[in-house]
Amino acid sequence: MNTQPFHEITRRQFLGRASAGIGAAALASLLNPTPSAALGVAGLPHFAPKAKRVIWLTQAGAPSQLDLFDFKPGLREQFDKDLPASVRNGQRVTGMTAGQARFPIAPSVFEFKQHGKAGHWLSELLPHTARIADELCIVRSMNTEAINHDPAMTMLQTGSQVPGRPSFGSWMAYGLGSENANLPAFVVMISRPSGNGNAQPLHERMWSSGFLSARYQGVRFSPGKDPVLFLSNPPGITTERRRAMLNDIAGLNRLKLDEYQDPEIQVRIDQYEMAFRMQASVPELADLSREPASMFERYGPESRKPGTFAANCILARRLAERGVRFIQLYHRGWDQHSDLPEHIRTQCYDTDQPSAALVEDLKQRGMLEDTLVIWGGEFGRSVYSQGQLTAKTYGRDHHPRCFSVWLAGGGVKPGAQFGETDDFSYNVVKDPVHIHDLNATALHLLGVDHTRLTVRHQGRDYRLTDVHGEVVKPILA
């Protein structure tokens, strides 16, 4: 238990005590301030980690497991038949389909084949993912309680449907700190679909640090002039002018420090230096111009367009190379309540090749073994059609009772599959994995016992997995 979630208090005391003895400046530079605390929590990791970092390819809006990963051949014969009441078993559906007279079964229109030595069943929509089948561990028994996007995404990120708790990346930035003095520990990138499908909104809270200090908040990297907010100097202020101004500021602040002896002043001096270093390190990071042409071929045609999921995947690899702990990509547009077959094609065009390329790229660089890649959304989609069902098209409503994710690298068993759903991909029938279990497992791979990374807030010790979560041991390598 750490009673001081505001890490700087510790810092402050440390610096304060130190400044009475040896020079504060010397110690502060030793401390190497970063946008997220460099240091993490003492005693972490709890045991030797398999993964040093996480790349979470969050598919916002909830991709259909039925059309991508969870092959149900028997459904072909059930086309347009009513979902048996015994399957639904009176369970809650959303207000969007609660009023439907029928719940007609919509088998996937897409072909499935087995791939790799692993024999993973994958839909024709994922030819590139199929290529890396033997790297993937597919979990088909994911489940959650939340049935609407906002609470479900909040749940996926923070382990609670109720807003206000820290997201996974913030826990990591807090607990494990940063490996790079010039970059934040938790970076978020968001892409919009190239198609015109329904892109559900996202909220800053999904990568917020909740009750942890704001310094652990996910830092949004955006395409364009300022990958990080307010990064560029105003027009007319060159790097040389900025450097000279920072020297003036530091000189004046040092006079203040001499007079007031407040260690906070030293921290500010250091943070201004860090800001200056970020002005160099972030554009260097975001600049893909030196990536070879073969790289863009690998990640696909969209990867040359800044801000796309594909471009963000290349950036994710570059961030991983530089030791960023938690890299979270969001790709919006999976919320296919109608015309699913049309919209899911463009979503897969956006995501399939770059996701596979990222895994391959990491592997070639020898980084896959200590990078955990997770691909999936906030819940699944219903086997019954929302709206009109025809031979060619259908919609699918939200479905929290089962969905699929894949994991790769970072100590996960490659080529494995885990968990099963019933013949309708409606209920989990074997080895259920709740979001809390997934989070517990990811933390475990990072060398963290999820029951021991806690922070006191409002008198209670909180953790990412609340009071739940079991490590899914069978999928560990």
**Least distance to another protein from the beta carbon of 380, Å?**
15
2 secondary structure, DSSP code: B
472 φ, ψ to 5°? -85, 85
- Min separation Cβ 360 and another protein, Å: 27
Residue 5, token pair as written in the block:
């979630």
Give dist(CA 163, CA 330) in Å, integer: 18
Which of positions 36-95 make contact with another protein (CB under 8 A)?
39-40, 42-43, 92, 94-95
Segment near another protein (CB under 8 A), from 1-9, 111-119, 289-297, 387-395? 1-9
Residues 189-218 vs another protein: string with x where CB under 8 A? Answer: -xxx------xxxxxxx--x----xxx-x-
477 sits near another protein (criterion: CB under 8 A): no
Spatial neighbors of 265 by CB under 8 A, at least 6 apart, are 253, 256, 257
> Where in 382-421 is the site for another protein (CB under 8 A)?
397-398
Amino acid at 272: Y
* 261 forms part of the interface with another protein (CB under 8 A): yes
Closest listed residue to residue 171, CA positions, set 477, 442, 463, 387: 463
Q: Shortest approach of another protein to residue 435 CB, angstroms?
A: 17
* Range 319-358, binding another protein (CB under 8 A): 332
Which amino acid is located at 34 in the chain?
T
DSSP character string of 67-109:
HHT---GGGGGGTTPBPPHHHHTT----TTTTT-S--BB---S
Q: Establish if 281 lies at the interface with another protein (CB under 8 A).
A: no
Query: Binders of another protein among 107-136, rule CB under 8 A?
Result: none
Q: Which of 29, 194, 253, 346 binds another protein (CB under 8 A)?
A: 253
Single-letter residue type at 257: L
Place of tokens 């015994």: 86
Instruction: Give 282 or 412: the residue with its C-beta nearer to another protein.
Output: 282
Q: Is 241 in the site for another protein (CB under 8 A)?
A: yes
Q: Which of 82, 226, 342, 422 binds another protein (CB under 8 A)?
A: 226
What is the C-alpha separation between 339 and 344, in angstroms, rounded?
9
Kindly report the length of the chain. Answer: 477
Question: Can residue 23 be called a binding residue for another protein (CB under 8 A)?
Answer: no
Of 3, 86, 289, 294, the residue at the interface with another protein (CB under 8 A) is: 3
Stretch in the footprint of another protein (CB under 8 A) among 8-16, 71-79, 83-91, 346-354: 8-16
Rounded-to-integer distance, Cα 139 and Cα 378, Å? 14
Rounded to the nearest whole angstrom, what is the least distance from the CB of residue 384 to another protein in the complex? 14
**Rounded CA gap, 313 and 425, in Å?**
30
CB of 43 to another protein, least distance (A): 7
